[in-house]
Structure 1
């Protein structure tokens, strides 16, 4: 037996203590689908007023919309709206057809890419073009003298080129003003009003001359509107070349005047040859529809009017449009 320093016997050594080591058993929970929701019993009107109710008719917005369309009142309103829209469209078409014949207007926009290119070349270089007479065929109702559309006849007037040339002229004039530091948003409206005013005055003068000379034609007005717009092709060419040659300082200089003189003469010859069948018809109809030959004196006055319109008037109009 061992003793301590103090003479007392040492206590017996106790065995070491062992703590139990916890063993973790990993268990995988079994996946099960959640139980179906309990059926909601319809509560009375004294239930919770703030409880959100789901959409009826399938639980979606489409179901609600389908339920709305299934309502006889909604179907009746939808049919009434369709009927009102149909009658409104017919009313607008009838009132517009009093002033503009849309079926005849489609004829002037029946163009192709090759026609547009060849027509622009003809307006700018009409010197050696032959023949100038328009091609005719038999109409859908068997009538004679039915003119072919522009797609099939280069000498036929169209409204696609005059309309595009007018829009290009308005944008080009505004762009040139911007390059010179004088751009103003109101300039677009001013230029458009100015161009439409010039064309309107020209058409009024033409109609007044046709009235004095007893010239009548079913498609006369639309033809005159189309031919009055071809001058913008020469005006655009004059503005572009003049601005480039003059360094963006406006139209002027000997190059600008040379281009203006050429485009004016080209446009005058083009109108002189093209308007011959409109202003100088070989025959005319009286009130009873009888064909009568135009007298020589009447034809001479019409020739003078055509020359006056093609040269002096076009010179004035083109000069005004290039000075804007």
Structure 2
């Protein structure tokens, strides 16, 4: 019996031609990039090309020059507006202090009753800096006292297991708001009383910020000796600050040039000074009583 030509005898294997190998799915690129024209560029070549193209483009150079000009004009305008509202030279005057002045001024704030001369000293119609005149107001002590008060408030709240960043931020912001409100009230009172003086915003900030010294002493005494010590320190520092504010503001607001004015105006100016001084113990108590328990 004949078999089909493609098969052998019964039981033999089917013989076929071997199929070619399938093409690889990915090209082998382990040998590096090809040098042919269709190969990928070297790393960084496109960035260098973009930078060179940008620098060589006259429109891009013009845009960069125009942007630099606008930035320079904006910077000059910002400095001009800053100097319009805040004089850097005047601000430097209130920070011209030294160690001896700070020690004497702190003693004056705590015990001002023996101080005799409260007049601010001048040299060629220019007030002497604080380091040369104890009566000159400064912003160094109020600034450092404010920072110390915030840190002391955090320590007091921590000792009472009531510390949290929100409560500490509330203490700091409340103290700042009270000072701003006090300065605005003083400005309004001086304006309504038509007081002609040389008191600036920095002067009023300095006089309003001296209360932080009394606040620190009151809180420290309260933490060491309890509520009784707190109220004793509060009474002493409040009375000392009131005396200091009355003598300082009265000398500044009621200078020799205003002493010859009408009697009603002088009384209004005196009442304004007394009101500003009488308001200090209330602020000190409001900002410190919750720190001592």
Instruction: Tell me the TM-score normalized by structure 2.
Output: 0.75
* 1:169 to 2:159 alignment: no
Q: In 2, are the aligned partners of 1:282 and 1:294 still within 8 Å (CA)?
A: no
| 1:42-121 matched pairs, under 5 angstroms | 46-47=36-37, 49-50=39-40, 52=42, 79-121=65-107
Q: In 2, are the aligned partners of 1:220 and 1:278 still within 8 Å (CA)?
A: no
Q: Shift in Å at residue 193 of structure 1?
A: 1.9
Q: Shift in Å at residue 67 of structure 1?
A: 7.3
Instruction: Provide Cα deviations, 1:134-176, integer angstroms capped at 9, x if missing partner.
Output: 11122xxxxxx32122122221111111122112212211221
Aligned to 1:193: 173
Q: Shift in Å at residue 222 of structure 1?
A: 2.2
CA–CA distance in structure 2, aligned partners of residues 71 and 205 of structure 1: 61
SS in 1 for 2:85: coil
Which is richer in helix? 2
RMSD, matched Cα: 3.0
| 1:289-304 matched pairs, under 5 angstroms | 293-304=260-271
The total of aligned residue pairs comes to 255
| 1:111-260 matched pairs, under 5 angstroms | 111-138=97-124, 145-246=125-226, 252-253=227-228, 255-260=229-234
CA–CA distance in structure 2, aligned partners of residues 217 and 93 of structure 1: 28
Q: Shift in Å at residue 51 of structure 1?
A: 6.7
Q: Could you say which structure has the greater relative contact order, defined with CA pairs below 8 angstroms and 6 or more residues apart?
A: 2
Q: Shift in Å at residue 111 of structure 1?
A: 2.0
**Equivalent of 2:235, from 252, 261, 264?**
261
Note the residue ranges of structure 2 that are not aligned, 5 or more in a row. 1-34
Range 225-234 or range 191-200, more displaced? 191-200
* 1:277 to 2:251 alignment: yes
Q: Shift in Å at residue 77 of structure 1?
A: 5.8
Q: Shift in Å at residue 231 of structure 1?
A: 0.6
Runs of 4+ in 1 over 6 A off after TM superposition: 66-70
CA–CA distance in structure 2, aligned partners of residues 76 and 120 of structure 1: 59
Q: Shift in Å at residue 126 of structure 1?
A: 1.5
Instruction: Provide Cα deviations, 1:193-248, integer angstroms capped at 9, x if missing partner.
Output: 211222122223222321232113343332111100001101101101110122xx
Q: Shift in Å at residue 277 of structure 1?
A: 2.6
Aligned to 1:13: none
SS in 2 for 1:88: helix
**Greater Rg over alpha carbons, structure:** 1
SS in 1 for 2:39: coil
CA–CA distance in structure 2, aligned partners of residues 155 and 71 of structure 1: 65
CA shift in 2, pair 1:322/1:91, >3 Å: same
Instruction: Tell me the TM-score normalized by structure 1.
Output: 0.69
CA–CA distance in structure 2, aligned partners of residues 95 and 235 of structure 1: 35
